[in-house]
């Protein structure tokens, strides 16, 4: 059997890679034994911030009054070090928790998921995004227009993130989640009137016992799904010490079983992303409802 290995592209560099990886591996093992065996504290170039929890709440105006649902979500944050390959200083986050369930009585049940259309890691960043940074004391760094110029700290590349994480960890009060992204990196796509939505994906089920009946809910037109007089009042986040919310399977008993047998609520999604007519719904996974399904 002839093996189609392109030597020029593939084999080239094997020696260099081998030796580099080997050296790194030896260094790693050496460091592990040094620290574990002798109690040596290795200087910390990487950062693990304290976990924090927040309550994600969704309020819906209905003719029967305001309906609320909330979920407590835990976020772990880690920043890779200066010498990480290939992502120095990369921010890693991990979340635990369930989607928000809003019971609208006979009108149905709405779920605000752990992700947005724009970001799979939405639930990990929402409290961070709405937490304001402190007003700095104007000093010699203030420019002529009154704006404070923050000079980067040459000794600690993460000082800005440190400050922001401190703010998150001492965050108090309720913050509204903005309707749209408002950053220079998430401007409207050509032809779009708005930047990407900052709201979580919202869905409901025509039949709660049938995962295939999932349908998308338009946050700007809840009445189209739940009837006249129903509208989204607001979505908020608030830091909390309450335990992480779990148990969404009590409502969606099939969630884990579906997730173990296939990847999406609706079976057989299109192979190519471009062929999906409604990718948000067609590629929706059980883990968008809970991080705790397979533990």
Partner 1 sequence: MTMNATVFRAILAMDSYNRGYAPSINGVTGTSIGLANVVSNQALNISDAQYQIWQSAGFYASAYVWNGQNVISYRGTNPDFSGSVTQFYNSPGFADVFHGWSLGAGFAGADQGQLALAFYQAVAGVSSPYYLIDNSAASTMLLGHSLGGGLAGFVGALSGEVAYGYDHMPFGMAAYAQAISDSAIAATAVITSGFATALVTVKNVLKEACKPALQIQSTC
CB atoms within 10 A of CB 20: 12
> What six digits make up the tokens of 20?
């580099």
Sites for partner 1 among residues 153-192 (CB under 8 A): 185-186
Q: What span, in angstroms and rounded, lies between the C-alpha atoms of 33 and 29?
A: 6
User: What's the chain's length in residues?
Assistant: 295
Rounded to the nearest angstrom, the gap between the alpha carbon of residue 201 and the centroid of all alpha carbons in its chain is 12
Sites for partner 1 among residues 252-271 (CB under 8 A): 256, 258-264, 268-271
CB atoms within 10 A of CB 257: 13
- Does 51 interact with partner 1 (rule: CB under 8 A)? no
Least Å from the CB of residue 14 to partner 1: 6
Q: Choose one: 44-52, 56-64, 197-205, 212-220; the region binding partner 1 (CB under 8 A).
A: 44-52
- Does 38 interact with partner 1 (rule: CB under 8 A)? no
CB 205 within 8 A of CB 192: no
- Does 277 interact with partner 1 (rule: CB under 8 A)? no
Least Å from the CB of residue 154 to partner 1: 17
CA 197-200-203 angle, to 5 degrees, is 115
DSSP 229: T
Least Å from the CB of residue 75 to partner 1: 14
- Does 119 interact with partner 1 (rule: CB under 8 A)? yes
> What six digits make up the tokens of 202?
């919202």
Sites for partner 1 among residues 4-33 (CB under 8 A): 4-7, 9-11, 13-15, 17-18, 21, 24-25, 27-28, 31-32
Sites for partner 1 among residues 56-95 (CB under 8 A): 78, 80-87, 90, 92
């Amino acid at each position: 059997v002839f093996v189609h290995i392109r030597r020029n592209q593939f084999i080239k560099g094997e020696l260099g890679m081998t030796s580099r990886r080997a050296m790194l591996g030896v260094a790693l093992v050496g460091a592990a034994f040094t620290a574990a065996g002798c109690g040596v504290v290795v200087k910390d170039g990487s950062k693990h911030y304290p976990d924090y929890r927040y309550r994600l709440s969704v309020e819906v105006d209905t003719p029967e009054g305001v309906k609320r649902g909330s979920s407590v979500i835990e976020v772990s944050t880690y920043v890779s070090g200066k010498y990480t390959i290939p992502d120095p200083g990369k921010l890693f986050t991990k979340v635990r928790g369930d989607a928000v369930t809003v019971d609208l009585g006979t009108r149905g049940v709405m779920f605000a998921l752990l992700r947005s259309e724009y970001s799979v890691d939405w639930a990990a960043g929402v409290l961070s995004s709405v937490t304001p940074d402190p007003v700095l004391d104007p000093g010699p760094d203030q420019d002529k227009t009154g704006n404070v110029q923050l000079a980067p700290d040459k000794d600690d590349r993460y000082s800005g993130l440190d400050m922001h994480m401190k703010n998150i960890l001492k965050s108090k009060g309720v913050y509204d989640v903005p309707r749209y992204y408002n950053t220079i990196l998430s401007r409207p796509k050509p032809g779009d009137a708005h930047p990407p939505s900052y709201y979580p994906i919202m869905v409901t089920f025509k039949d709660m016992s049938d995962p295939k009946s999932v349908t998308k809910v338009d946050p700007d037109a809840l009445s189209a799904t739940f009837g006249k007089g129903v509208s989204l009042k607001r979505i908020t986040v608030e830091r909390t010490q309450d335990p992480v919310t779990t148990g969404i399977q009590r409502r969606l008993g099939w969630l884990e079983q579906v997730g173990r047998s296939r990847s999406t609520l609706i079976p057989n999604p299109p192979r190519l992303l471009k062929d999906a007519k409604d990718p948000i719904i067609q590629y929706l996974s059980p883990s968008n409802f809970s991080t705790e399904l397979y533990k």
